[in-house]
Amino acid sequence: MPEPLSPDEQDAIIGQIGEILERDGGEGEVETLYDQLDAEHRSQVDDMIREYADNAVGDEHWDSDS
């Protein structure tokens, strides 16, 4: 089992994921990096992906039932 990544290494991965989203990269690239993160850093990525989707659609309530 690989050694856990340091917080700095995980922060760098979050930056890489941001770059992938900016260039509309593939979901597989994001998943591979995402799987390396701990729960706290995954939460940060989840928020970043949510913001990306909100901006792409143009409405932060795009997925609500109302």
Those residues whose C-beta lies under 8 Å from the C-beta of residue 11, and which sit 6 or more positions away, are: 41
Say if residue 66's pLDDT is above 70: no
Tens-digit pLDDT profile for residues 32-59: 999 999 999 999 999 998 888 888 888 7
Q: Which residues contact 49 (CB under 8 A, 6 or more apart)?
A: 21, 30
User: Do the beta carbons of residue 20 and residue 51 sit within 8 Å?
Assistant: no
Domain ranges of the chain: 27-54
13 touches 5 (CB < 8 A):
yes
Q: Which carries the bigger pLDDT value, residue 18 or residue 57?
A: 18
